[in-house]
Amino acid sequence: MEEHDFFNETTELRPHTLVCPKCGQPGEYKVTWVVRRKRAQLPRGADERDRARFAKAQSYMVRRDDKLSCTNVRCRKPFEITQLQSLAFLTD
């Protein structure tokens, strides 16, 4: 079985306060995350190895956006997101 068989995948926009490195202005940005939540039950046709992997699996989210544009009207320059982690585990 593949890893995606153990999870339900959705896309979410989450607000974060980030600081533009070019102009130093803080702003509220909506960052796109791919959220993978562990399914309630193991899919059919799983063997012992898949059961062990499913028991260890944990819900997590992965940041999809790597660059954002500054919200300051005078700046508007793109910058890379370095203040946020690219992977975060979820507690259910």
Percentage of residues in the chain with pLDDT exceeding 90? 62
Kindly report, residue by residue over 45-62, the tens digit of the pLDDT. 788 888 888 888 899 999
What HEC string does the chain produce?
CCHHHHEEEEEEEEEEEEECCCCCCEEEEEEEEEEEEECCCCCCCCCHHHHHHHHHCCCEEEECCCEEECCCCCCCCEEECCCCCCEEECCC
What CA–CA distance (Å, rounded) separates 88 from 61?
A: 5
Q: Rounded CA gap, 73 and 49, in Å?
A: 54
